[in-house]
Structure 1
């Protein structure tokens, strides 16, 4: 089969399109024919050698949409069944989705029912589930003022669209570091754009809910901009900082405010299907920003690392 392999850490040129042996099915695992997958920031970090548990050579790719090719879990995973998978150790401890086939543990394969195209479906797994799960944790209510920090990321754009699908009265404000991307956010349905990245928010800015995709680098500031009863969800680490430092909860979290998070590695099939049902019922446009072929994955990596990246990039096979 064809695959994209990283043999040693490096830039996008470290991604090599080549032929490799097709995986062989083993007990407890099933073979998935890859139809598409999204490009994720964590795969950039891994390619660069910043994931200490990942050893090379490795086929990257932490998410996939496709069909069951060979199954050891029939009838749950019958041949031809449309499925999704993401997270776990795919693309890290074992070969990932940057290939024509991927071998996955049965308990990490989620059957889904949807009429979405492969390109649209490929934009959803990790990005859509993260955005939807985080929004559920924020307990959105009618007329909430929602801030999305890191709004031009794939999760940020998806979250803005899903928030309006959940309740059109929710007012969404998204941040961007680049004025030029304001129009793109507005076109994606964002109600207000706030220029700024990792710097503190304006003192007068107040919100009911904050989806902080920049993460530990900005979460302490986000907490200081909540209305009473407000919630911050620190979901993502776009700021490149993994841990909260000098965090003393009593002083950092205002009275009657809350801090939560969402981990997309804990997948519930019913929540995933509810997301797909919401997208179809409300006609949510989650079409990817760009579609690449397997042979041009390196181009997708260059794009997502560039200053002009906006929205979700996917590969369709």
Structure 2
């Protein structure tokens, strides 16, 4: 390791399942290098609902104690691949069992597999870059799979999430002339969706979308298997549904007959942030810089306020993308 790397670091460790109070600030040794892995100085990380589920003990494969965090942006502090990942290189890391099978980004430093580190070139601030890995990349991949065209009505179910708000910004810049409808379980959040780029809103009550008929040509499904069948019932002939999120913690479908329940002559696709393509990631960063897409997070917290950040994410005020910096 380089001489500038400290021997200890701050880390937010979870020792048992529970509420935000189990996110404890500790001082731990900085991880030592091992073959095929490199050490990243974490500059910022986005928060995700899946991390809340893990903290609550709802991820069966995760064993505590664990440092959570499934994404980060930062710089290579020590490397085992100097050609691709030289010291000082800016990198993004997403998923790959980070924060689940091994310790993740809720720390000053994270030891990560080289194949899970993606070099980037960008002058965007760290808190803005931190919105890209899990949130904007997921929205971007989903958007490409939906094959958007001007004049379509596009519904986003789970629109107040970070991915939902990112999708609205990207869709506006890529396919002008769309009619974007954001679905939310809270009528009080309708104004936030309209201010965030949506043309209209729809209520999602008890897993039922409060719209008549099949008005949607495209749908981004972020709530997941819990509402996918109902979503398909509102998609017009030949439409496309992209199932991307699992916001309510339901992972599998029950009582779903594809022949009957998919839209007539329609299509079901999917995307998730673990489907990482280095070229696509670089293209997204270049695109948002050239187009000036506003990717600023809704709220920014410091690492020592991780419990507060989780409380905000779970609260009725939690909206858009939340980022935790150093």
Under a length normalisation based on structure 1, what TM-score does the superposition of the two structures give?
0.97
Aligned: 1:300 with 2:309: yes
Match in the other structure for 1:171: 179
| Separation in 2, partners of 1:309, 1:185 | 13
| Aligned counterpart for 1:251 among listed residues 260, 270, 288 | 260
| Aligned counterpart for 1:35 among listed residues 34, 43, 51 | 43
Aligned: 1:160 with 2:168: yes
Write the mapping of 1:47-58 to structure 2, written as runs, cut at 5 A: 47-58=55-66
| Separation in 1, partners of 2:122, 2:189 | 32
| Aligned counterpart for 1:22 among listed residues 16, 24, 30 | 30
Deviations 1:222-272 (A, max 9, x none): 112122221011111113321110111111113211111112112101111
Contact 1:176–1:194 (CA under 8 A) maintained in structure 2: yes
Deviations 1:27-61 (A, max 9, x none): 11000000000111010011111111111111000
The alignment partner of 1:215 has SS state of coil
Contact 1:289–1:312 (CA under 8 A) maintained in structure 2: yes
Match in the other structure for 1:108: 116
Question: CA shift at 1:214, angstroms?
Answer: 0.7
In structure 1, stretches of 5+ residues that fail to align are none
| Separation in 2, partners of 1:81, 1:133 | 25
Aligned: 1:66 with 2:71: no
The alignment partner of 2:45 has SS state of strand
Question: CA shift at 1:100, angstroms?
Answer: 0.3
Question: CA shift at 1:65, angstroms?
Answer: 0.2
Match in the other structure for 2:4: none
Question: CA shift at 1:201, angstroms?
Answer: 3.6
| Aligned counterpart for 2:242 among listed residues 210, 213, 233 | 233
The alignment partner of 2:252 has SS state of coil
| Separation in 2, partners of 1:215, 1:108 | 26
Question: CA shift at 1:142, angstroms?
Answer: 2.0
The number of equivalent residue pairs is 317
| Separation in 2, partners of 1:162, 1:144 | 15
Contact 2:90–2:121 (CA under 8 A) maintained in structure 1: yes
User: Which consecutive aligned stretches of 4+ in structure 1 deviate over 2 angstroms post-superposition?
Assistant: 195-198
Match in the other structure for 1:10: 18
Contact 1:201–1:221 (CA under 8 A) maintained in structure 2: no
| Separation in 1, partners of 2:275, 2:39 | 22
| Separation in 1, partners of 2:250, 2:102 | 26
| Separation in 1, partners of 2:263, 2:101 | 40
Under a length normalisation based on structure 2, what TM-score does the superposition of the two structures give?
0.95
Match in the other structure for 2:6: none
Contact 2:153–2:180 (CA under 8 A) maintained in structure 1: yes
Deviations 1:146-177 (A, max 9, x none): 10000000111111111111112122110112
**RMSD of aligned residue pairs (Cα, Å):** 1.1
Contact 2:203–2:209 (CA under 8 A) maintained in structure 1: no
